[in-house]
C-alpha cells in the first residue's frame, strides 16, 4: 500500500511539474496572446519555461533567456526601461491593452551578483491597483525571468454605477 501511494505521489508531482510549462490550448487564448507567445518563443535563446495561471489564462512566471535586443532598440537602456519594453513587447501575452500606460516603475534594485530586479505596478486611470505587480529580472543584456501578478483586461472589468450606500 505504501509503495502504491509513493508511486502515485511521484507520478502526480511529475505531471504537475510538466504541466507548469504547457501552453494553453489555442481555443483558450486570444489572437494577441498567441502572437505574443510565438514572438516570445522565437526571441528566447534556448528553452523557455512558462507557468500559467489557470484563472486568468496568462503566464504567472516566465523563465528563460530573452536578449534585451529583442525588446529594446538601445543596448544601453536602463533596467527600468528594459522592464517596461519587455511588458510592452509581450503585452498581448499578459492581456494588457497598453502596457506603457498600465504599468509604472515601483521599484528597481541591483543585487550583489549584479542582477537587476524591477517591479512594475499596474495602474488604472493613474491609480495603483492593489497587489497587481510584474517583476522583471535582468542579468546584463538578458532578461532571465518575469513574474506576473497584473490583472488582465482590467478596463473590461469596470462599469458605471452606484454603490448601495451612495443611492
Which residues, listed in sequence order, are joined to residue 119 by a DSSP beta bridge? 107, 135
- Whether the per-residue pLDDT at 21 is higher than 50: the answer is no
Predicted confidence at residue 117, as pLDDT, reads 97
On whether the CB atoms of residues 120 and 136 are closer than 8 A, the answer is: yes
- Whether the per-residue pLDDT at 144 is higher than 70: the answer is yes
Better pLDDT: 143 or 5? 143
Better pLDDT: 8 or 99? 99
Mean pLDDT of the 55-74 span: 90
Tell me the pLDDT band of 145, cut-offs 50, 70 and 90.
very high
DSSP states of 94-118:
TT-S-HHHHEEEEEEEE-TTSEEEE
3-state secondary structure of 49: strand
Q: What are phi and psi of 145, to 5 degrees?
A: -165, 155
Which residues, listed in sequence order, are joined to residue 143 by a DSSP beta bridge? 66, 138
CATH class of 47-153: alpha beta
On whether the CB atoms of residues 112 and 102 are closer than 8 A, the answer is: no
Q: What is the value of pTM for the model shown?
A: 0.75
In the structure grid, which three cell numbers stand for residue 64, read together? 528563460
For the chain, give every domain's residue range: 47-153
Q: What are phi and psi of 52, to 5 degrees?
A: -100, 140
Q: Which residue has the cell 482590467?
A: 154
Amino acid at each position: 500500500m505504501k509503495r502504491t501511494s509513493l508511486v502515485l505521489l511521484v507520478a502526480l508531482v511529475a505531471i504537475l511539474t510538466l504541466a507548469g510549462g504547457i501552453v494553453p490550448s489555442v481555443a483558450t487564448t486570444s489572437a494577441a496572446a498567441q502572437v505574443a507567445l510565438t514572438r516570445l518563443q522565437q526571441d528566447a535563446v534556448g528553452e523557455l519555461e512558462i507557468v500559467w495561471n489557470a484563472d486568468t489564462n496568462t503566464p504567472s512566471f516566465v523563465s528563460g533567456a530573452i536578449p534585451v535586443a529583442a525588446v529594446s532598440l538601445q543596448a544601453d537602456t536602463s533596467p527600468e526601461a528594459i522592464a517596461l519594453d519587455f511588458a510592452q513587447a509581450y503585452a498581448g501575452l499578459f492581456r494588457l491593452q497598453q502596457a506603457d500606460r498600465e504599468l509604472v516603475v515601483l521599484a528597481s534594485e541591483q543585487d550583489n551578483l549584479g542582477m537587476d530586479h524591477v517591479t512594475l505596478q499596474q495602474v488604472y486611470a493613474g491609480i495603483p491597483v492593489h497587489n497587481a505587480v510584474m517583476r522583471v529580472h535582468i542579468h546584463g543584456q538578458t532578461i532571465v525571468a518575469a513574474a506576473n501578478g497584473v490583472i488582465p483586461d482590467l478596463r473590461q472589468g469596470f462599469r458605471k454605477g452606484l454603490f448601495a450606500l451612495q443611492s
